[in-house]
Structure 1
Amino acid sequence: MRRADRLFQIIQILRRARAPLTGEAIATELECSTRTLYRDIAELMAQRVPIRGEAGLGYVLEGGYDMPPLMLTPDEIEAAVLGAQWVSGQGDPALARAAQDLIAKIEAAIPEKLRPYIADPAATAPSFAVRPADGLDLALLRLQIRQGRKLAFAYVDANGRASRRVVWPVTLGFLETVRIVAAWCELRQDFRHFRADRISTPEFLDDRYPERPAALRAKWRRHLAERREKEKE
Structure 2
Amino acid sequence: MSRTARLFQLMQVLRSPPQPKTAESMAQDLGVSARTVHRDIEALRGLGAVIDGEAGYGFTLIEDATLPPLGFTNDELEALVLGLREVELIGDPELAKAAGQALRKLKGRLPPRQSHRLAHAVLSATRFDRPAPPGIEVSQLRQATWDELVVALGYTDAKGAITTRRVSPLTILYMDRASMLIAWCHLRQDFRAFRLDRMQALTVTDESFRPNRVPLLRKALDGIRAESAKLAADRKER
Cα RMSD of the aligned pairs, angstroms, is 2.3
2:180 alignment partner AA: I
Match of 1:78 in 2: 78
**Does the C-alpha gap of structure 1 residues 159 and 110 become closer, same or farther in structure 2, counting only changes over 3 Å?**
same
d(CA) in 2 for partners of 1:158 and 1:166? 18
Aligned length: 176
Runs of 4+ in 1 over 4 A off after TM superposition: 62-66
d(CA) in 2 for partners of 1:140 and 1:179? 15
1:95 alignment partner AA: L
**Does the C-alpha gap of structure 1 residues 127 and 72 become closer, same or farther in structure 2, counting only changes over 3 Å?**
same
Match of 1:68 in 2: 68
Match of 2:98 in 1: 98
Match of 2:156 in 1: 156
Alignment of 1:68-217 (within 5 A): 68-209=68-209, 211-217=211-217
Paired residue secondary structure (2:187): coil
Alignment of 1:213-228 (within 5 A): 213-228=213-228
* TM-score, structure 1 normalization: 0.68
User: Percent identity of the aligned residues?
Assistant: 31
Q: Which moved more, 1:191-200 or 1:140-149?
A: 191-200
d(CA) in 2 for partners of 1:159 and 1:202? 21
* TM-score, structure 2 normalization: 0.66
d(CA) in 1 for partners of 2:170 and 2:17? 21
d(CA) in 2 for partners of 1:186 and 1:213? 14
Q: Deviations over 1:91-119 (max 9, x none)?
A: 12221222122212221222211222211
Paired residue secondary structure (2:168): strand
Deviation (angstroms), 1:79: 0.7
Q: Which moved more, 1:62-71 or 1:161-170?
A: 62-71
Deviation (angstroms), 1:135: 1.5
Q: Which moved more, 1:120-129 or 1:222-231?
A: 222-231
Q: Deviations over 1:13-44 (max 9, x none)?
A: xx7x977xxxxxxxxxxxxxxxxxxxxxxxxx
Paired residue secondary structure (1:194): strand
d(CA) in 2 for partners of 1:18 and 1:76? 23
Q: Which blocks of at least 5 consecutive residues in structure 2 are unaligned?
A: 1-14, 19-59
Q: Deviations over 1:100-152 (max 9, x none)?
A: 22212221222211222211111101232244331111011000000001111
Deviation (angstroms), 1:223: 2.1
d(CA) in 1 for partners of 2:134 and 2:76? 32
d(CA) in 2 for partners of 1:198 and 1:189? 20
Q: Which blocks of at least 5 consecutive residues in structure 1 are unaligned?
A: 1-14, 20-61
